[in-house]
Amino acid sequence: MTRYAQSTTVAADKSRAEIEKILARYGADQFLYGWEVGQAVVAFRAHGRQIRFTLPMPDRNDEEFTLTPARRTRRSAEQIEAAYDQAVRQRWRALALVIKAKLEAVETGITEFEDEFMAQIVLPDGQTVGAFMKPQIAIAYDRGHMPKLLPAPGSSSE
């Protein structure tokens, strides 16, 4: 199976800039970008909601980059860096596609903003709806009943 933009030549910084332009074009009034080892973060405010995407970054030391696919021989340092950079570029292109598609779907009236960005909406405690709901979904399936609604600030969830 092929990955979207697996052979892209678009640099990661150009994709980040494109994301910022897309967000401005669709009415975002704040934009933030940051990174640390293993992940990058893109956050913005639109439609009165804070949104945060965490983009996992590959590990340079992963065999996907250090070994050749066919013969599994060690790549040179230059080859490792080139393969790693390609994976980073691919992830940024995919994120740009996702954000643009979601915003266009909202703009066109196919869906609503909150529905499209539900998992990435930042809650008052700083976590995203997706991070909050994943364990709640597991509880619902494990126990066979619905979890409680969002807890009041300061209370603990089920």
pLDDT band at residue 156 under the 50/70/90 scheme: low
> Percentage of the chain surpassing pLDDT 90?
80
Predicted local distance difference test score (pLDDT) of residue 151: 58
Residue 5 lies in a domain: no
Predicted local distance difference test score (pLDDT) of residue 158: 47
Predicted local distance difference test score (pLDDT) of residue 139: 86
The answer to whether the CB of 40 falls within 8 A of the CB of 55 is yes
Helix axis angle, 12-25 to 77-108, nearest 10° = 10
Query: Do 104 and 129 sit in the same domain of this protein?
Result: no
Query: Do 37 and 89 sit in the same domain of this protein?
Result: yes
Residue 148: is its pLDDT beyond 50? Answer: yes
Q: Which pTM was predicted?
A: 0.87
Mean pLDDT, range 61-75, rounded to an integer: 92
pLDDT band at residue 150 under the 50/70/90 scheme: low
The tally of domains found in the chain comes to: 2
Residue 2 lies in a domain: no
What range defines the domain where residue 32 resides?
Answer: 12-122
Query: Do 68 and 91 sit in the same domain of this protein?
Result: yes
Residue 116: is its pLDDT beyond 70? Answer: yes
